[in-house]
Amino acid sequence: MTPHDVLIIGSGPAGLTAAIYAARANLNPLVIEGEISSTSDQPGGQLMLTTEVENFPGFEHGVQGPELMTTMRAQAARFGAEFVTAKATRVDLSDRPFGVWIENDEYRAKGLIVSTGARSLMLGLEEERRLIGHGVSTCATCDGFFFRGQEIAVVGGGDSALEEATFLTKFASKVTLVHRRDQLRASKIMQDRARANPKIEFAWNKRVVNLNGTDNLQGAVLEDTITGEQSDLDVTGLFVAIGHVPNTDLFKGQLALDDQGYIVTGPGTRTDVDGVFACGDVQDHTYRQAITAAGSGCMAAIDVERWLEAHH
Ligand code: NAP
């Protein structure tokens, strides 16, 4: 079997940008892009679950997330990147060329770029899937702007939730922080900042059990975790900030992961296995933006190209 020069696992902004750069460097990348699912680890990644993206440079009037990803994919294909629409099920990074499997189909590659992304933890409500991008969001930086002057809620009690709640008070008239306990997990400084913010109210010991609205979110139903009593929360936006998980199951025991399961990289996009590079949210729990993922995808393609030049 002739090995591919570069194989890319994952097709969000990081993977597709890596594919564009690798293809233009004549490395004929093969992208294992994932398969259609309702979670963010699908082809195109988390942007497939958003609507308007207004902060990706180059789009003065914004662009729909799925359209942005479809265009990036077409751009990579134009330069010769090839795609397999399936999920990788196994990798062997101890062997050279590296082995990647989709069930029983085996692929070999001299250089590997991992861009499998991360996914937001969700509440698991049926309505949540339907209303994501229509009032329900997992990214305050991306979507806060759409809720100017509106009453919204943030779910969670960690640093992410408090950071998002504080950020969202720039736009919203009121932010209700819904937390399932009466004590926050967030750091003291975040807590102090949120508690001092007059626009933030706390709904303690509450969990969201239902979402109202057909086309757009029109309210949430809360349940008291102690009494079981239900109440309506009149909001047009609900930000779920209960944590993220990187899509790294495939690499456990083969690549160095940090204590939260993200791939450890550096210098640049190098992992601890020579010839394997990682980019995008799978190695970044700080920035998590499409543009930073795309930037690191470009870095990974340049890193793999230089590595191939030196080793092959
Ligand atoms: P986290 O610390 O794991 O907090 C998740 C929060 O969501 C917890 O309060 C948890 O409640 C709640 N939660 C989990 N599952 C839930 C469910 N099904 N329904 C309702 N609530 C649920 O996650 P994070 O806030 O994303 O932070 C992750 C890491 O990144 C942390 O180490 C954090 O310090 C760091 N971070 C740092 C910053 C910063 O320093 N600027 C910003 C963001 C994140 P319980 O408390 O009851 O478990």
What is 122-240's CATH topology? Answer: FAD/NAD(P)-binding domain (3.50.50)
Q: Which residue has the higher pLDDT, 41 or 44?
A: 44
CA nearest to 235, candidates 211, 199, 202? 211
Q: What is the pLDDT of residue 156?
A: 98
What letter would DSSP give residue 5?
Answer: E
CA of 116 to the centre of ligand 1 (A): 22
Q: What is the pLDDT of residue 191?
A: 97
Q: What is the pLDDT of residue 187?
A: 93
- Of these residues, 5, 139, 279, 281, which one is catalytic? 139
CA dihedral 61, 282, 123, 226 (to 10 degrees): -130
Q: Whose CA is nearest to atom 35 of ligand 1?
A: 159
Cα–Cα distance for residue pair 83/86, rounded to 1 Å: 9
CA nearest to 191, candidates 183, 181, 199? 183
Q: Whose CA is nearest to atom 16 of ligand 1?
A: 242
Q: What is the pLDDT of residue 208?
A: 98
The amino acid present at 294, given as its one-letter code, is A
CA of 49 to the centre of ligand 1 (A): 21
pLDDT at 203 over 90: yes
Q: Whose CA is nearest to atom 33 of ligand 1?
A: 159
Q: Whose CA is nearest to atom 43 of ligand 1?
A: 160
Instruction: Indicate the top mutation candidate among 242, 245, 286 to test ligand 1's pocket, ranked by most ligand atoms within 8 A of CB.
Output: 242
pLDDT digits (tens, 9 = 90+) for 51-91: 778 889 999 999 998 999 999 999 999 999 999 999 999 99
Pairing state of beta strands 244-246 and 118-120?
A: antiparallel
Question: What confidence tier does 178 reach under pLDDT thresholds 50, 70, 90?
Answer: very high
> Which residues surround ligand 1 with Cβ inside 6 Å?
121, 123, 155-161, 163, 180-181, 185, 207, 242-243
- Of these residues, 143, 281, 284, 303, which one is catalytic? 143
CA of 100 to the centre of ligand 1 (A): 33
Share above pLDDT 90 across residues of the chain, in percent, rounded to a whole number: 86
- Of these residues, 5, 41, 92, 142, which one is catalytic? 142
CA nearest to 65, candidates 18, 16, 12? 12
Question: What confidence tier does 38 reach under pLDDT thresholds 50, 70, 90?
Answer: low
Domain with CATH 3.50.50.60 in the chain: 4-119+244-311, 122-240
Cα–Cα distance for residue pair 279/231, rounded to 1 Å: 43
Q: What is the pLDDT of residue 250?
A: 97
Q: What is the pLDDT of residue 37?
A: 66
pTM: 0.81
Question: How high does pLDDT run on average in the chain?
Answer: 95
Instruction: Indicate the top mutation candidate among 177, 185, 190, 244 to test ligand 1's pocket, ranked by most ligand atoms within 8 A of CB.
Output: 185
pLDDT at 36 over 90: no
CA of 220 to the centre of ligand 1 (A): 21
pLDDT digits (tens, 9 = 90+) for 209-242: 999 999 999 999 999 999 999 999 999 999 999 9
Residues 6+ apart with CB under 8 A from 158: 184, 185, 186, 241, 242, 243
Share above pLDDT 70 across residues of the chain, in percent, rounded to a whole number: 98
Q: Kindly state which CATH superfamily the domain 4-119+244-311 is placed in.
A: FAD/NAD(P)-binding domain (3.50.50.60)
Q: What is the pLDDT of residue 1?
A: 80
Query: From residue 302, how far is each of 11, 297, 298 by CA, in Å?
Result: 17, 9, 6
Concerning whether 139 is annotated as a catalytic residue, the answer is: yes
CA of 231 to the centre of ligand 1 (A): 24
Q: Whose CA is nearest to atom 2 of ligand 1?
A: 158
Residues 6+ apart with CB under 8 A from 31: 7, 8, 9, 10, 11, 15, 16, 19, 76, 81, 82, 83, 84
The 10 Å Cβ neighbour count of residue 228 is 7
CA of 245 to the centre of ligand 1 (A): 11
Q: What is the pLDDT of residue 142?
A: 84
Q: What is the pLDDT of residue 258?
A: 98
